[in-house]
Amino acid sequence: MKVLLTGAGGQLGRALMQARPTDADVIALDRVALDIGDRAAVLAAVAAHRPELIVNAAAYTAVDRAEQEPEAAAQINHHAVQYLADAAMTYDARLVHVSTDFVFDGMQGQLYYIDDTPRPLSVYGATKWAGEQAALSAPNSLIVRTSWVYGVDGANFVKTMLRLMAARDEVRVVADQIGTPTHAASLARAIWALAGQGAAGIVHVTDAGVASWYDFAQAIQDEAVAIGLLDRVVPIVPIATEDYPTPAKRPAFSVLDKSASWALLGVPAAHWRAELGLMLHQLKDMTRG
């Protein structure tokens, strides 16, 4: 199977390369190799490579900066996805696109199902929702909504916490936003499996379980100290969202219902704590050199 992977230099892009199926011939293009915001370049790349599958891991992911740069965010998260969908239609490829729990406002206080109506609170969420609709304009496209992604590659909450916990005497973390941390490696495996099965439409894929950012931080510290990635324990102070104001509003509760993707994959996802342990062990092996 010939696959064109866009955004290959990002956190998920790199995890997708790591987890690629042995029978996949993946042409991995990072932002320098292919700017998905350039319509002509997208069409030319798809015309040149003629992939059966286009997997889009590229996105404008600076959630707070997007509030000041709505057009730049829309160009990548919405219009560029339309370019990819148009190219997929023109050259008979299937598009796999990645979206986010931030399409929801988080106010219903219970699981979000695939057909719940998005009500994004932020520019990032709104542009990602528009991107979902653009992706759906190509026949048989697959949109994978996920949440709270972290991996050994790229900047993410786990790495930020490790840095702060090593440097500060106390770390303050929001305790009233609830979601599900998701390991980029397990997400990548699920994306390849769903794409390989020809799954289409919108699916939700995250690791299992539920956490606040505070719970996540506590688990990061517990595990990192246990395996020697951190050499001391610092107090983690739970704070409210209002005590940590950010330009973009985030959903208070954005746990996604995964039952449909679990049914397709044939197994439930691993719990986020188990996946966090795997990532931290991998990080430790990497820092050892």
Ligand X SMILES: NC(=O)c1ccc[n+]([C@@H]2O[C@H](COP(=O)([O-])OP(=O)(O)OC[C@H]3O[C@@H](n4cnc5c(N)ncnc54)[C@H](OP(=O)(O)O)[C@@H]3O)[C@@H](O)[C@H]2O)c1
For residue 89, the minimal CB distance to ligand X (Å) is 20
- Closer of 225 and 271 to ligand X (Cβ): 271
Task: Please name which of 205, 222, 207 lies closest in space to residue 272, comparing C-alpha atoms.
Answer: 207
Residue number with CB closer to ligand X (49 or 234): 49
User: How far is it between the farthest Cα atoms of the chain?
Assistant: 56
Check binding of 61 to ligand X (CB under 6 A): yes
Contact 187, 146 (CB under 8 A): yes
| Segment interacting with ligand X, rule: CB under 6 A, options 9-17, 84-92, 215-223, 254-262 | 9-17
Q: Is 36 in the site for ligand X (CB under 6 A)?
A: yes
Is residue 146 a contact point for ligand X (CB under 6 A)?
yes
9 binds ligand X (CB under 6 A): yes
Query: Minimum Å distance from CB 26 to ligand X?
Result: 16
Site string for ligand X, 93-112 (x = CB under 6 A): -----x-x------------
**What 8-state DSSP symbol labels residue 180?**
-
Under the binding rule (CB under 6 A), the answer on residue 147 touching ligand X is: yes
Closest CA to 175 of 252, 233, 277, 111: 252
Closer residue to ligand X in complex, CB, 37/51: 37
From the CA atom positions of the chain, what is the Rg in Å? 19
Q: Report the residue from 42, 45, 55, 58 that binds ligand X according to the rule CB under 6 A.
A: 58
Q: Among residues 35 and 288, whose Cβ is nearest to ligand X? A: 35
- Determine the Cα–Cα distance for residues 3 and 94; give it in Å rounded to an integer: 10
Catalytic entry in 60, 83, 112, 124: 124
59 lines the binding site for ligand X (CB under 6 A): yes
Shortest Cβ 24–ligand X spacing (Å)? 19
Which residues have a Cβ under 8 Å from the Cβ of 6 and sit 6 or more positions away? 13, 29, 34, 36, 54, 55, 56, 57, 58, 84
Q: Which is nearer to ligand X, 94 or 145 (CB)?
A: 145
Check residue 154 for interaction with ligand X (CB under 6 A): yes
Rounded Cα–Cα distance for residues 78 and 135 (Å): 9
CA distance 79 to 256: 26
**Residue 61 CB, nearest distance to ligand X (Å)?**
4
Classify the phi-psi angles of 111: left when phi > 0, otherwise alpha if psi is within -120 to 50, otherwise beta: beta
Is the Cβ–Cβ distance between 106 and 253 less than 8 Å? yes
CA angle 65, 70, 76 (to 5 degrees): 90
Query: Nearest 5 degrees, angle CA 251-CA 257-CA 262?
Result: 145
Residues contacting residue 284 through CB under 8 Å, at least 6 positions apart: 227, 228, 229
Query: What is the rounded distance in angstroms from the CA atom of residue 178 to the CA atom of residue 205?
Result: 16
Binding-site size, ligand X (CB under 6 A): 25
Smallest distance, Å, CB 228 to ligand X? 27
Rule CB under 6 A: say whether 87 interacts with ligand X.
no
Q: Does 31 participate in binding ligand X (rule CB under 6 A)?
A: yes
Residue 124 annotated as catalytic: yes
Options 35, 105, 132, 275; binder of ligand X; rule CB under 6 A? 35
Catalytic residues: 124
Give me the residues that bind ligand X (CB under 6 A), please.
Answer: 6-7, 9-13, 31, 35-37, 57-61, 76, 98, 100, 128, 146-149, 154
